[in-house]
Amino acid sequence: MAATNVSLKLFIDKRRQQVLYAEADKKFVDFLLSFFTLPVGAVTRLLLDGGSVGGCLPSLYQSIKNLSVAYIRPDKSKLFLLEPKVVMPGAELPLLLPNIGSTFRQLYRCPNVTGTCLSFVAIDDSTICPSCNSKMERNVKCVDPPSVIRAASSSEEGYVIGMVKYMVMDDLEVMALSSATLVSLLTKSNVKEIGDLEEKVVDVGMDEGVKLLKASFQSKTVLTDVFLPAEIIKTVDSIKNDMIIHPKTASL
Ligand SMILES: [Zn+2]
């Protein structure tokens, strides 16, 4: 699993106490994009670990977990559903999520290279060859088609290129950072001067990784929810409430 030294530079709208955008490098963007490669079983397990989640997936997950293996076909394992492996496009992708089994499109075969054995490969090195009953633990390399091989010659892992900075919005919209997009964002958000923004660098580890994944299912203000301490937001809310309540009490 890749290292977890991923950081993010938040630009906070001080007036609203909300993240306007974050400046991110390739690692964080690759992490966000890796959400789309996660099997639903892996996501459900992470969300269950993190507390209560809505919808029916938790009860479906729990019911498979509780179902006796007597009802599962002998050639299948419940782990394929409950702990599915993620297929990674690169070995160094920062998957900031705990206990996610990953495979770099890794395949295995048995030690025999003749006869029927040649037609079997496995995705798990504990598999037994159906032909010779040996353990299928020899690595087999998965080869990309020519266009992908050419693109991969840069030796970069993950999904996006690393030479540029990216902008990640509070609702996780991702775009390349440019002065034009920045100016249009500031105008749209009514931020008059750069002094209205507070800069804050945050580290993103496993804990934040799970929070980001969970919040992305439930919120449109993910970065604010995960990285801005709740007390600050509460204080701002209570100030707002005070402002609403005062005129009413005054009129009584
Ligand atoms: Zn074999």
H runs (alpha helix) in 108-229: 146-152, 179-188, 206-218, 222-227
Q: Per-residue pLDDT tens for 53-100?
A: 678 888 899 999 999 999 998 878 888 888 887 766 554 555 677 777
Residue found by looking up tokens 């299948």 in the block: 76
Ligand 1 centroid – CA 131 distance (Å)? 5
CA 73 to centroid of ligand 1, rounded, Å: 22
Amino acid 86: pLDDT: 73
**d(CA 69, ligand 1 centre) in Å:** 27
The whole-angstrom separation of Cα 172 and Cα 57 is: 23
pLDDT score of 142: 73
Ligand 1 centre to CA of 34 (Å) is: 34
pLDDT tens per residue, range 124-183:
888 999 999 999 999 987 776 776 555 555 566 778 888 899 999 999 999 999 999 988
Whether residue 3 has pLDDT greater than 50: no
pLDDT in tens, 179-200: 999 888 888 888 877 788 999 9
At 185, the amino acid letter reads L
Q: Is 125 helix (H, G, I), strand (E, B) or coil?
A: coil
CB 25 within 8 A of CB 241: no
pTM for this entry: 0.73
Distance, CA of 212 to CA of 192 (rounded, Å): 29
User: How far is the C-alpha of 3 from the C-alpha of 185, rounded, in Å?
Assistant: 32
- Degrees to nearest 5, angle at CA 119 with 118 and 122: 95
125 CA from centroid of ligand 1 (Å): 13
| pLDDT greater than 90 at residue 230 | no
Q: Compute the distance from residue 118 Cα to the ligand 1 centre, in Å.
A: 7
Residue 51's region, left for phi above 0, alpha for psi from -120 to 50, else beta, is left
Could you tell me which of 127, 144, 148 has the C-alpha nearest to residue 136?
Answer: 127
Percent of the chain with pLDDT over 70: 77
**Spacing, Cα 130 to ligand 1 middle (Å):** 7
